[in-house]
Structures are given as C-alpha cells and as structure tokens.
Structure 1
C-alpha cells in the first residue's frame, strides 16, 4: 500500500523559494504523478498532464484550504536534480496537522483512480473530490462518531466489503444506511445495555415491496478498542482490487465527520462487544407506529423503540445479504 505520508515527511524543503518550486518524488506505480512539498512545508499532489490535455481548462481555485492550479509550470527538485514540467497541482495550504494527514490520505486514494495517464474527465473528477471533501471538513459533522463507527464495523465484518460500500448511502441524510435492490439495511447502536433505538416511521414501514432489516449493535468506548481510522485501515486492506469503492469509503467517511475529522483516532469502541452483541431484526418484528395510524398531515415522525421482546433473525450478515448482492 502506498505510504504518501511517509514519502512526504522525508522530503526536504525545496532550495528555491519560488512559489512554483517543489521538492517531489514520483509515486511508485504511478510515476507520472508526484507527491510534493512546497516552501511552506505543505503537501501537494502533482497530477501529470499529457500534451493533448494541456489545452483543457480547469479553473484555478483557492477554497477551503485547498489551492488548485491547472497546467502550472513547476520546478521539481528530486534526488539532487532539477527539472521542469507542467502539472495540475492540488495543494493543502492550511496549518492543521490532522487535516494535512487527511490531505495525504486522500492523495493516496485518488492516485489509484487517476491511473498513469488521466483523462481530462478524471483530472476534473479528482479536483472536484478534493474541493467537496475539504468543504465538508469545515462544516458541522452530519453523523455521530458512534453511528459512523458502527456502519464501518458492519462493512469490516462482511466477506464482501466492496459490495457493502457500493450499497452504502451517498449522503448521511438518506433514510437507510445501505440499499441493495429491494433490501434496505439500517444500522442502529446503543451505548447502554438495552437495545433502545431511535427510528423514523419510514425506517420500519416498508414501501414498494421492499424488505427492511435492522442491525442492532451495543457499543462501549474503550481506549484499547478500534478507532474509525483502525476500521478504515482494516477495510482498505480488503479493497486493493476495488479503487472506486476505496475512494467512496474514504471520501464519505471524512465528509461525514466534518470538523470532527481529528476524532478518527481519538474515540475508540470495543470491537469484541460490538461483534458479540450484533443482532439482526426484520422491521415487521419491531414495535412501531403503523403507517395506517399516522395522519397524512403528520410528517417526519420519529420515535424510540425497545427491541427487548423482538425476535432476532438467526442468520449471519453475509447470509442475509448474499441473495441480494451475489449477482451485482
């Protein structure tokens, strides 16, 4: 696995103090691109531009501590030699070390999606992903750390995490965490000893012949447990042949965390408790307010339901999902 953070940290500052000068190293396996350090000691991704793509225009941007310069003539210092070439340059210009690490992690993910000779479309897609992600880092987090941890835990537990990521919500505000054909999968967690969870009426009342399964997990913070970053690393190791899913995983996690990005390592939960407590329930077996009893004028109804007397499904995660994803 690429270690762009390690490469960046071992780069010296460029000797030339020109703003377009970089100390850089080619990325192994993707030698057309460079991971670089500028004279402000900040990281940059230098994206190769082929001659036929140099007339392609991407607007230069300076937003959310990300600076984008397209078709920039760069002075590259590498292993004692200096040369010049044109690149699309994406740079982090802030001062937060946690966010700097996030930038380097993002470079590590998107490089694989770029490939050696990216098209105009691929370059533009990568630039947009950086802007989208770092905009989210400035915003209020849209999901609890606990909730996100449990979704990642479920992905990590599966024998086919790439398929779970494909079915994972694109934004945290979607009604269900996972969607596979006519199956909807929702993950609920509790930090108490009771399976008491918050639901919206739509999460327990099926529509259009869909099946809804609830995954219930009990969690406990534990300094010796797994952090979100630990789960990310474990999942990433299973996704080497699935760069698109790896990119989605990485970008969605950090856009969900928002300004809580530094907590990827700080908050840890006990994985053994989560594993032993994980149970699945059909929505029809969970106490709820039936749609027929909800006036049409009442919307966005939420309630708390206790699963104490609900019967869990006697099946594993893979057994539940396999009929819906085996052909996808």
Structure 2
C-alpha cells in the first residue's frame, strides 16, 4: 500500500480539526491521519479499552485506548477508542522512514495489532531513529551495495534476510548454524581486501566463505538506491524489513540520493568465492593483551571454491525465494 496519495490529500485540507484521517484500504480498523500540526499519525481501533501508559520521545509518541474524533471528510467523521502512533518529527526523510516501516508492519498479515505488538513497533522505531550514520559512509555504501547485490543474485533478498547481520559489530554478514559468509568488495583492480584477524582465525568447526567482488564504477550502472528499492519490495511485510532500514540509516541514504553505481555484469563476472582457511593470514591467535587486529590480504593467487562447493553452501542457507 502507498500512503503518499492519502497524505497529499490530507495536506491540502485546512487543519480545522484536531485530527484529519483516511481509512487504509484492506486494513480494517486502521486509519492514517494528520494532527493540527501536520504530524503523521496512525490510528488503530482498540478492540477493548485497556489501560497502558503513553510513551513519548523527541520524535515519536504512542498512546493507547484514547478517545478520538477523526474527521475523514467534510461530511464524515468517526468517534471511537483508538491506539495511536505519531511521528513528531517534521524532517521529510524521518517521516518517510516512519511511514515505510508502518506500511511494512501493516502489510504483515500475520501481525496482530495488539498493545504488545504496537509497543514492540514503537521501540523498534525509537531504536531506528537513534542510529547515526557511519563516519565512513562512502565505504559502507559500497559494502551495502555488495551485500544487496549478492542477496539479489543468489536466491533473492528474502532467502538471505533472516540470516543477514546488519549490525556493524558482527564478524560476518550471513550465518546459519556453523556456516558463515562474508561479502568483501573493492574498486581496486587487485583482489585485495581488509580483514579482521578474528574473521580469518575463527573456530575450526565453522565453515566460512569469503565472497570477493571487484566492482567497476559506472555512471549508468546499478545504483545503491535501486537495489534498496528492490529489497524494500521484497522484504515489505516480513519480520526482517527493519534490518534493511537499519542498514539504510547507517549509510545515510536519503530519498534523493542515488548512492554509488557499479556495473552489474562486471560484478557478476568478477565474483569469486574462497574458503577462509586458504586466505593469507597470520597463523596464530592474537597474543594476550592484543585485540582488534586488522590487515589486508591479497587473494589474487588464493585457490577458489569449486562450483560444487558453492552450491552446497548456498543450499545450506535455504531454498531460493523471490528476489
């Protein structure tokens, strides 16, 4: 569903009433509205009047079981008991993030809009708005392009979303059981990547693969924005959608920014898989008192995984889904 047309209509109306609202098609008991200060609100019909405290931050507010008079048109209004989630920010990008997240949640047919689930949604939004862009977001954008490109071309976004680790503190991008995959990308002609020693000197029982991408910048290539938009369509209405939004926030991708563009054909041609045990590295663990060791490894002459090995590893991460 798209809320932009409804918001455009509501914005054209004079704020004569405390709350103007529109019913959301195919979402019974839920309305999208604006308050007198043009803050975007979602109203969810309360099935029963249960007391729960309101919560307010500088950017968000949630209220439960309150009586509202919602003006739907000049001759139609609705009075009732509703829960509400409101975006207090007037920043255009933050409002768009708020409405995208709510759109995804309301599109999840398995989601029951209870006080508990709305509280969970609220705090997920609070945590999302706390994210600060990476200081080196140009490098992080390249990394996100590589991850999304890999997901799209190896079974689809939905296949990988559950195993995707978007937190910058995680050692690998994808994991399931004792299997790990990390995506490395470079725009250099040499297949040289930065590694943490922790990545290369890991638990012996783990099966770890490094996927190396040599990227070619291209003004008419695939943009990061385009990959994000495709991922939004695929992950909308799933429990994994917020992982995508977190990644977008961390690389400071706003609605008008195309982000980096790379040649897809070259990226596909230059994708290579490696067992972590074959990658040049220090052969011993970090000595006592030493941590966070990082270095570059040249994979040019490193033996590559066979197609059979790659297929077996991909199968262990689940079946192919729509991209």
TM-score (norm 2): 0.86
Aligned pair in 2 of structure 1 residues 227, 100: CA closer, same or farther (>3 Å)? Answer: farther
Query: How far apart, CA to CA, are the structure 1 residues paired with 2:68 and 2:223?
Result: 39
Query: How far apart, CA to CA, are the structure 2 residues paired with 1:31 and 1:49?
Result: 12
Query: How far apart, CA to CA, are the structure 2 residues paired with 1:134 and 1:91?
Result: 14
Alpha-carbon contact 1:172-1:256 (below 8 Å) kept: no
1:199 is matched with 195
Candidates 98, 102, 105, aligned match of 1:110: 105
2:117 is matched with 122
Candidates 177, 180, 185, aligned match of 1:184: 180
Name the Cα RMSD after superposition: 2.7
Query: How far apart, CA to CA, are the structure 2 residues paired with 1:157 and 1:45?
Result: 36
Alpha-carbon contact 1:288-1:305 (below 8 Å) kept: yes
1:5 is matched with 4
Alpha-carbon contact 1:30-1:115 (below 8 Å) kept: no
Shift, 1:215, TM fit: 0.9
Query: How far apart, CA to CA, are the structure 1 residues paired with 2:39 and 2:54?
Result: 22
2:88 is matched with 93
Query: How far apart, CA to CA, are the structure 1 residues paired with 2:109 and 2:19?
Result: 21
Aligned pair in 2 of structure 1 residues 11, 140: CA closer, same or farther (>3 Å)? Answer: same
Aligned pair in 2 of structure 1 residues 85, 210: CA closer, same or farther (>3 Å)? Answer: same
Candidates 283, 289, 310, aligned match of 1:290: 283
Once the two structures are overlaid, the 10-residue window that deviates more, 177-186 or 248-257, is: 248-257
Candidates 134, 159, 164, aligned match of 1:141: 134
| Structure 1 unmatched ranges of 5 or more | none
| Structure 2 unmatched ranges of 5 or more | none
2:39 is matched with 42
Aligned residues: 314
- Secondary structure of 1:102's match? helix
Query: Structure 1, residues 161-219: CA drift from partner, whole Å, max 9, x if none?
Result: 32311111152211111111111111111122221111011111230500110011122
Shift, 1:222, TM fit: 3.5
Shift, 1:15, TM fit: 4.4
2:22 is matched with 25
